[in-house]
Amino acid sequence: MKQATIQLRNLAIGYKGKNDTKVVASDICTAINGGELTCLLGANGVGKSTLLRTLSAFQPKLEGEIDIMNREIGTYSDKELSRTIGVVLTEKCDVRNMTARELIEMGRSPYTGFWGTLHGEDREIVERSIALVKIENLADRMVHTLSDGERQKVMIAKALAQQTPVIFLDEPTAFLDFPSKVEIMQLLHQLTRETGKTIFLSTHDLELALQIADKIWLMDRQHGITIGTPEDLALEGHLSGFFARKGIVFDMETGLFRVENQYSSQVRLVGHGHKYAMVRKALQRNGILANRNVESSVWVETGDLTTSGFRICREGENVIEVGTIEELLEQLKMEN
Ligand SMILES: Nc1ncnc2c1ncn2[C@@H]1O[C@H](COP(=O)(O)OP(=O)(O)OP(=O)(O)O)[C@@H](O)[C@H]1O
């Protein structure tokens, strides 16, 4: 049984103005478990950052309770909070004249004295954090010379150096290239497994979240927050409902989203394996419905990985052989 590290009771979040209050979300009653990677998904402006900032005590809640490890967040001193919650926000930090390692060392400040003197153990933790995020090559660079993605990794290493049981991250993968996105998500997932940390992050990287997260929170103006494993949310129809926009369909077979194609013609495919799958994908991307069940006077033999090229066949006509999918597309387009 997973332990709930964070309990939210009737939580309302938003902004208090002079004359009015903007409620971004209300009646949030749920928990975030330790040892799990939880990803918060939702459209622009729905309130993901507001929720993360409220849970991090960077902005006041409007109503309700936030219990972190069985204590109301308001009862924590700043020092206690900094030993409990590590936060990585998207805002650019304006740091000059500081190396990446020095910035990561600041993650140790909740544990060092007034002068911020690092001891042997602190240095070891800093080096371990650098190694975990694989940024040894950036450690001696000045922070203001780093790219957005590189700086993001440094901020994650700083949060790791802080050694808190809870880490909140606002769009940690936003500026990263695809392999780095995967790497960071897998790292965060692995940390929840190995250290039992509670990691809660917002992201627009839907596909990655669906493949890596233990829990998904779908945040929506109409339905509030819906929570579950990616697979339960899929089976219950929440995922397809949530992203039901024109042109995006949730594919139950793969558990992922795909662009819905509009088909103008169809072709029967003969073959199997990777070559079959790639030809089908290429044709469908080009508006040609293609699979082995389609009825058509023209068919494509994809062969398999032991055969070379592809064959376009028509009853009573010569077979056309092509070497690549690009040539296959060209040929089929010419014929249409
Ligand atoms: N300081 C503020 N005062 C008043 N309203 C705000 C403030 N900051 C944000 N908002 C509003 O609160 C709502 C939620 O914003 P928030 O930044 O939390 O959304 P988000 O889900 O993180 O969006 P995105 O995916 O675009 O980052 C939006 O309507 C936004 O305009």
pLDDT tens for residues 57-96?
999 999 999 999 999 999 999 999 999 999 998 776 677 7
| pLDDT of 15 over the 70 cut | yes
User: For residues 254 and 324, which has the higher predicted lDDT (pLDDT)?
Assistant: 324
- The CATH number assigned to the domain holding 59 equals 3.40.50.300
Distance of alpha carbon 183 from its chain centroid, rounded?
A: 11
Domain boundary among 181, 212, 228: 228
Residues 64, 28: contact at Cβ < 8 Å?
yes
Same domain, 310 and 203: no
Mean pLDDT computed over 108-132: 88
Mean pLDDT computed over 161-181: 92
Which protein residue has the closest C-alpha to ligand 1 atom 30? 45
Percent of the chain past pLDDT 70, that is, above it, reads 98
User: Is the CB of residue 267 below 6 angstroms from any atom belonging to ligand 1?
Assistant: no
Same domain, 89 and 189: yes
Residues 15, 24: contact at Cβ < 8 Å?
yes
Which protein residue has the closest C-alpha to ligand 1 atom 28? 45
pLDDT (0 to 100) of residue 7: 96
Same domain, 68 and 134: yes
Q: Per residue in 287-310, pLDDT tens?
A: 898 989 888 889 999 987 788 899
Same domain, 70 and 204: yes
Ligand 1 pocket test target in 23, 48, 170 with most atoms within 8 Å of CB: 48
Domain boundary among 228, 257, 277: 228
User: Is the CB of residue 47 below 6 angstroms from any atom belonging to ligand 1?
Assistant: yes
Instruction: Provide the domain limits for residue 303.
Output: 265-335
Cα distances (angstroms) measured from residue 144 to each of 65, 101, 119, 173: 38, 13, 26, 19
CA gap 216, 229 in Å, rounded: 6
Same domain, 205 and 103: yes
| pLDDT of 246 over the 80 cut | no
Mean pLDDT score of the chain, rounded to an integer?
A: 90
Same domain, 159 and 306: no
Domain boundary among 228, 256, 287: 228
Percent of the chain past pLDDT 90, that is, above it, reads 60
Phi, psi of 308 (to 5 degrees): -105, 150
pLDDT band, residue 245 (cuts 50/70/90): low
Report how many domains make up the chain: 2
User: For residues 272 and 213, which has the higher predicted lDDT (pLDDT)?
Assistant: 213
Residues 287, 265: contact at Cβ < 8 Å?
yes
Q: Is residue 167 part of a domain?
A: yes
Same domain, 212 and 140: yes
- The CATH number assigned to the domain holding 318 equals 3.40.50.800
Q: Which atom of ligand 1 is nearest to the CA of 14?
A: 12
Same domain, 101 and 33: yes
Q: Is residue 326 part of a domain?
A: yes
CA of 76 to the centre of ligand 1 (A): 26
CA of 277 to the centre of ligand 1 (A): 42
| pLDDT of 54 over the 80 cut | yes
ipTM above 0.90, yes or no: yes
Q: Is residue 243 part of a domain?
A: no
pLDDT band, residue 238 (cuts 50/70/90): confident
Same domain, 101 and 188: yes
Q: Is residue 257 part of a domain?
A: no
Q: Is residue 242 part of a domain?
A: no
Order of all β-strands in the sheet with 224-228: 85-88, 166-170, 198-202, 37-42, 215-220, 224-228
Same domain, 98 and 20: yes
Same domain, 88 and 35: yes
Same domain, 43 and 183: yes
Order of all β-strands in the sheet with 288-291: 288-291, 265-271, 298-303, 310-314, 320-322
Q: Is residue 241 part of a domain?
A: no
User: Is the CB of residue 45 below 6 angstroms from any atom belonging to ligand 1?
Assistant: yes
Q: Is residue 300 part of a domain?
A: yes
